[in-house]
């Protein structure tokens, strides 16, 4: 029973993270005038980035304990994809506040907490 519950919450966590990343890439793609032909349709480059991010979320070994990829210390993304996702986060992060305020605030809190934790660990070394 407990395992079934864990599987369900892991799945909902994956779903939540996929929805968040899809919104952010959508904001970035639309806001930068890429050639996605219709509302909600991404340009090929952003679509490839989204599919790549979905694959990573599906295979992430830290899904049970992690918050968001942006706070991960491993970062399993290929260098070019990491650079693209970094650009997406920078652009879409502040704009998410107006479109999806709850996940945006959650994301901000987790990011700040991860930065503070990292600083604390660095100071100890």
Binding-site ranges for ligand SF4 (CB under 6 A): 56-57, 60, 62, 66, 69, 72, 74-77
Residues 81/95, Cβ–Cβ less than 8 Å? no
Q: What minimum distance in Å lies between the beta carbon of 69 and ligand SF4?
A: 3
Nearest-approach distance from CB 85 to ligand SF4, in angstroms:
9
Partner interacting with residue 114 (select from ligand SF4, Zn ion, none; CB below 5-8 Å by kind) = none
Q: Which spans of this chain sit near Zn ion (rule: CB under 5 A)?
A: 29, 34, 43, 46
Q: What does the DSSP assignment read for 41-100?
A: ---HHHHHHHHHHHHHHHH-TTTTT---GGG-SS--S-HHHHHHHHHHHHHHHHHHHHH-
Closer by beta carbon to ligand SF4, 68 or else 91: 68
């Amino acid at each position: 029973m407990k395992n079934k519950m864990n599987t369900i919450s892991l799945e909902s966590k994956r779903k939540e993270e996929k929805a968040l990343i899809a919104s952010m890439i959508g904001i970035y793609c639309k806001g930068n005038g890429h050639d996605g032909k219709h509302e909600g349709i991404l340009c090929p480059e952003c679509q490839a980035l989204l599919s790549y991010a979905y694959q990573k979320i599906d295979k992430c070994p830290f899904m049970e304990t992690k918050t968001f990829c942006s706070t991960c210390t491993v970062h399993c993304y290929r260098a070019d994809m990491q650079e693209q996702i970094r650009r997406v986060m920078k652009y879409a992060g502040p704009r998410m506040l107006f479109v999806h305020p709850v996940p945006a605030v959650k994301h901000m809190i987790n990011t700040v907490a991860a930065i503070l934790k990292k600083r604390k660990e660095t100071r100890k070394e």
